[in-house]
A = this chain, B = another copy of it.
Amino acid sequence: MTRIWNFSAGPAALPESVLQTTQAELLDWHGVGASIMEVSHRGKYFQEVIAAAEADLRELLAIPANYKVLFLQGGATLQFSAIPLNLLCGRSADYVVTGAWSKKAFQEAGRIAPVRLAVSTESADQPADGFIRLPRFDALSLDPAAAYLHLCTNETIHGVEIHDDASLPQNVPIVADMSSHLLSRPVDIRRYGLIYAGAQKNVGPSGLTLVIVRQDLLGKTAVVPRLLDYQAQVDNDSMLNTPTTFSIYVAGLVFQWLKKTGGLARMAEINREKAALLYAAIDDSNGFYKNPVEANCRSRMNTPFNLPTPTLEAEFVRASETAGFMGLKGHKSVGGIRASLYNAMPVEGVEALVGFMRAFATGRG
């Protein structure tokens, strides 16, 4: 068996040791004679799994006691609806649009109530630019009566990331879609009212969605559909119905792996090193590779880049697959190339990619 260097944007590579444990335990979890997939979500075995997963996640992110952790389903997309349904309570909310995902969140919320676009960084008059920058948060005109301010702190498609929690406004609760960089670095949870993330990047298999929410924001309204009611899920410890047990189990193994690796501060160092390697390879290519995002908000998780022509980009994807890489084709909406450098991608994988990129450019530049 040869494992490939997998740069997929999500579902994405998982730590190999996590997969090995999953494999070893697959038919017989901890000697109980059944797979963890096969046991009751309310029984003692799975209760042990989900309790450990929550405790480890709380430790990794230093989640304060007044925040609840929910293990839900439906991806970030279902949260685009659940958030306004739970938090608006007749008010408006401000949305910052910095890429495709925050735009979708804004549009979906608008189907529920007339929320407000605080700012969009899309270069509508220069569509080739697309989303390449952050707004100046200190210059934003925000509604002080808004129920919340919504952000996507890492735009998976456009590769735009907010690196500094401290730069964000603090006058209303911040709701953040952290799907593609949660657990890639420490986060000051207290700066946020609600954090949500689809699991399939740094957390675990797809199908699981994490929600971390400040308790005082909940319980002010009865939500329909009831499965989307955060307070009802809190009251039922994420078990209003059967949760996605296997994904929670694998996520729990990922959390253990992160603790063994040295926690999120160590992970952030590794991720900075990986991103520095890749952006250097792009910036030092004499214009053969180009990433348009402004330097202060280049994502350490998702790096989209272009080659001189679409033909060369297609050739790059083909050659990379032959050379043992996976998942480098850019998102269909923007084209080009994208390399996602989630936690499970080791430095060696990025070194291999950078070596491949330099070899590919040689003679073609």
Query: Which residues of the other chain, B, contact A10 by a CB distance below 8 angstroms?
Result: 40, 242
* A363 lies within 8 A of chain B by Cβ: no
B108 with A225: CB separation less than 8 A: yes
Interface of A is mostly: loop
The CB with the most chain B CB atoms within 10 A, among A2, A27, A242, A245, is that of: A242
- The segment from A30-38, A143-151, A169-177, A296-304 that touches chain B is A30-38
B22 with A224: CB separation less than 8 A: no
Distance between Cα atoms of A31 and B20 in the complex (Å):
16
B246 with A206: CB separation less than 8 A: yes
B77 with A227: CB separation less than 8 A: yes
- The segment from A78-86, A269-277, A286-294 that touches chain B is A78-86
B40 with A8: CB separation less than 8 A: yes
Query: Which residues of the other chain, B, contact A82 by a CB distance below 8 angstroms?
Result: 225
Which A residues contact B (CB, under 8 angstroms)? 1-4, 6, 8-14, 16, 19-20, 22-23, 26-28, 32-35, 37-43, 73-78, 80-82, 85, 108, 111-112, 198, 200, 205-208, 224-228, 240-247, 250, 324, 326-327, 332
**Apart from A73-B74, A206-B245: 5 A-B pairs, beta carbons within 8 A:** A8-B39, A11-B242, A23-B26, A73-B73, A112-B224
